[in-house]
Amino acid sequence: MSDTAVSASPRLRWQCRRGMRELDELLQTFLERGYPQLNDTQRMTFERLLTTQDNLLLEYFMGRSVPKDADTADVVAKIRHAAHP
Amino acid sequence: MTAMKLVRRKFDTLVIGAGGGGLRSAMQLAQADANVAVVSKVFPTRSHTVAAQGGMNAALANVVPDNWHWHMYDTVKGSDYLGDQDAIEYMCRAASHLVVELEHAGVPFSRLDNGKIYQRPFGGQSQDFGGAQAARTCAAADRTGHAILHSLYQQNIRAKTHFFDEYFAIDLVKDSDGYILGAVVLEIETGEPLLIEAKTTLLATGGVGQLFRTNTNAHINTGDGIAMALRAGIPVQDMEFFQFHPTGIAGKGMLITEGVRGEGGYLVNKDGERFMERYAPHAKDLASRDVVSRAIAIEVREGRGCGPNADHVMLKLEHLGAEVIKKRLPGIRDMAMTFIGVDPIEEPIPVFPTAHYTMGGIPTNRYGQVVVPLGEGAEEPIPGLYAVGECACVSVHGANRLGGNSLLDIVVFGRAAGNHIIEHLAEHRYHRQLDEGSIDQALARLARWEQSGDGESVDELRQELQRVMEEDCGVFRTEETLVQGVARVEALAERLQNVRLKDQSKVFNTARIEAFELENLMALGLATVKSALARKESRGAHSRVDYPDRDDERWMKHSLYYEDGRVDYKPVRTKPLTVDTFPPKARVY
Test mutation, B339, B349, B509, chain A, max A CBs within 10 A: B339
- Answer whether residue B283 shows pLDDT above 90: no
How confident is the model at residue A85, as a pLDDT?
A: 66
pLDDT single digits (tens) B347-404: 999 999 999 999 999 999 999 999 999 876 679 999 999 999 999 999 999 999 998 9
Per-residue confidence band for A4, with pLDDT thresholds at 50, 70 and 90: low
> Is B46 in contact with A63 (Cβ distance < 8 A)?
no
Transcribe B156-175 into DSSP letters. Answer: HHHTT-EEEETEEEEEEEE-
| Average pLDDT, integer, range B520-524 | 98
> Is B339 in contact with A64 (Cβ distance < 8 A)?
no
Minimal C-alpha gap between B378 and chain A (Å): 38
What does the buried/exposed string (b/e) look like for B133-155 if buried means 16 or more CB atoms within 10 Å of the residue's CB?
Answer: ebbbbbbbeebbbbbbbbbbbeb
B1-53+162-241+359-548 and B246-353 agree in CATH topology: no
Closest CA to B56 of B96, B111, B115: B96
| Average pLDDT, integer, range B92-119 | 95
Average pLDDT score, chain B: 94
> Is A55 in contact with B50 (Cβ distance < 8 A)?
yes
Candidate ranges B317-331, B371-385, B556-570, B575-589; pick with highest mean pLDDT: B556-570
How confident is the model at residue B122, as a pLDDT?
A: 82
pLDDT single digits (tens) A38-85: 999 999 999 999 999 999 999 999 999 999 999 999 999 999 999 876
Nearest to B42 among A11, A17, A53 (CB): A17
- Residue B474 identity: G
Q: Is A13 on the interface with B (CB under 8 A)?
A: yes
Q: Could you tell me which residues of chain B have a Cβ less than 8 Å from any Cβ in chain A?
A: 42, 45-51, 143, 146, 149-150, 166, 188-189, 215-220, 252-254, 331, 334-335, 337-341, 508-511
Topology of domain B246-353 in CATH is Flavocytochrome C3; Chain A, domain 1 (3.90.700)
User: Could you tell me which CATH class the domain B1-53+162-241+359-548 is placed in?
Assistant: alpha beta
Residues in A touching B389 (Cβ below 8 Å): none
- Answer whether residue B548 shows pLDDT above 60: yes
How confident is the model at residue B1, as a pLDDT?
A: 66
Q: Is A39 on the interface with B (CB under 8 A)?
A: no
> In sequence order, what are the beta bridge partners of B10?
B197
Active site residues of B: 289
- Answer whether residue B321 shows pLDDT above 70: yes
- Answer whether residue B73 shows pLDDT above 70: yes
Contact assessment for residue B227 and residue B493, using Cβ atoms and an 8 Å cutoff: no
Which residues lie below 8 Å from residue B583, measured CB to CB, with a gap of 6+?
B574
Minimal C-alpha gap between B47 and chain A (Å): 5
- Residue B253 identity: G
Taking the C-alpha atoms of residue A38 and residue A46, their distance in angstroms, rounded to an integer, is 9
pLDDT single digits (tens) B157-184: 999 999 999 999 999 999 999 999 999 9
> Is A83 in contact with B338 (Cβ distance < 8 A)?
yes
0.90 surpassed by complex ipTM: yes
- Answer whether residue B263 shows pLDDT above 50: yes
Domain total in chain A: 1
Q: Is A16 on the interface with B (CB under 8 A)?
A: no
How confident is the model at residue B479, as a pLDDT?
A: 98
Per-residue confidence band for B282, with pLDDT thresholds at 50, 70 and 90: confident
Residues in B touching A9 (Cβ below 8 Å): 508
Taking the C-alpha atoms of residue B97 and residue B99, their distance in angstroms, rounded to an integer, is 6
How confident is the model at residue A2, as a pLDDT?
A: 43
Nearest to A19 among B189, B218, B511 (CB): B218
How confident is the model at residue B75, as a pLDDT?
A: 96
Give whole-number Cα distances, B35 to B7, B203, B219, B371, B422, in Å.
18, 17, 30, 25, 11
CA B49 to mean position of chain CA atoms: 10
**CB-based burial of residue B548 (10 Å sphere; 0-12 exposed, 13-18 middle, 19+ buried)?**
exposed
Q: Is A64 on the interface with B (CB under 8 A)?
A: yes
How confident is the model at residue B495, as a pLDDT?
A: 96
Higher local confidence (pLDDT), B558 or B54: B558
How confident is the model at residue A1, as a pLDDT?
A: 39
pLDDT single digits (tens) B465-506: 999 999 999 999 999 999 999 999 999 999 999 999 988 888
Residues in A touching B254 (Cβ below 8 Å): 21-22, 25
- Tell whether A56 is covered by a domain: yes
How many Cβ pairs within 8 Å bridge chains A and B?
84
Residues in A touching B146 (Cβ below 8 Å): 53-55
Test mutation, A9, A18, A32, chain B, max B CBs within 10 A: A18
| Average pLDDT, integer, range B77-88 | 96
Taking the C-alpha atoms of residue B389 and residue B406, their distance in angstroms, rounded to an integer, is 8
Show the domain range for A79: 10-83
Domain with residue A72: its CATH number is: 1.10.150.250
- Tell whether A1 is covered by a domain: no
Residues in A touching B45 (Cβ below 8 Å): 19, 53-54
Residues in A touching B340 (Cβ below 8 Å): 84
Left, alpha or beta for A65 (phi > 0: left; psi -120 to 50: alpha)? beta
Q: Is A84 on the interface with B (CB under 8 A)?
A: yes
> Which sequence spans correspond to the domains of chain B?
1-53+162-241+359-548, 246-353
pLDDT single digits (tens) B196-223: 999 999 999 999 999 999 999 999 999 9
How confident is the model at residue B377, as a pLDDT?
A: 63
Q: What percent of chain B has pLDDT over 90?
A: 86
Minimal C-alpha gap between A55 and chain B (Å): 7
Minimal C-alpha gap between B150 and chain A (Å): 10
Cβ atoms within 10 Å of A5's Cβ, excluding its own: 8
Nearest to A19 among B51, B339, B341 (CB): B51
Beta strands in B41-190 (DSSP E): 56-57, 119-120, 137-138, 162-165, 167-174, 180-187
Closest CA to B393 of B428, B422, B368, B426: B368
Minimal C-alpha gap between B2 and chain A (Å): 27
Minimal C-alpha gap between A82 and chain B (Å): 10
- Tell whether A46 is covered by a domain: yes
- Answer whether residue B290 shows pLDDT above 90: no
Nearest to B45 among A26, A53, A83 (CB): A53
> Is B254 in contact with A22 (Cβ distance < 8 A)?
yes
